[in-house]
Structure 1
């Protein structure tokens, strides 16, 4: 449910920026999002999540191979 709310909020912001804000507001939003994505903490979390995903895929492959 929480993910759906975040998705809905993203759609609403995107709609607002796209229809009312114009190119300047869109560019400002892109710059702000890029700053967030470049933040060291966000990069660290992304790395951890990627490692976990790789581990889970490897475990799934091993379980399928052993079946």
Structure 2
């Protein structure tokens, strides 16, 4: 029983000291991160990266659409190889 109570007391003391040190360290990290986020150079770099990401996403969207159209056309050609299939995107033959 003596060992158990010593363990509980030790755990309680460790918890108290750990939470105090942990909170202080947390506050220090938060102050540093706020200063970093408010830095004009960091904000400018974030803006450039955001714009570049939007540009890349737009290009990927266009390319993906083109590839989807090509794939759909290829599938339709394979499915209707022997039939009289007309692509609805093409002008009708008169």
TM-score range, shorter chain: 0.5 to 0.7
Larger C-alpha radius of gyration, 1 or 2?
2
Q: Which residue of 1 aligns with 2:39?
A: 39
Distance 1:19 1:59 in 2: 49
Unaligned runs of 5+ residues in structure 1 are 1-17
How many residue pairs align between the two structures? 50
Distance 2:45 2:19 in 1: 33
SS in 2 for 1:28: helix
Q: How big is the shift at 1:56? A: 0.3
1:5-46 per-position Cα deviation (integer Å, ceiling 9, x unaligned): xxxxxxxxxxxxx88932012101111111001100000000
Task: Provide TM-score, normalisation by structure 1.
Answer: 0.65
Task: Provide TM-score, normalisation by structure 2.
Answer: 0.48
Unaligned runs of 5+ residues in structure 2 are 1-17, 68-94
Query: What RMSD over aligned residues (CA atoms) do the two structures have, in Å?
Result: 1.9
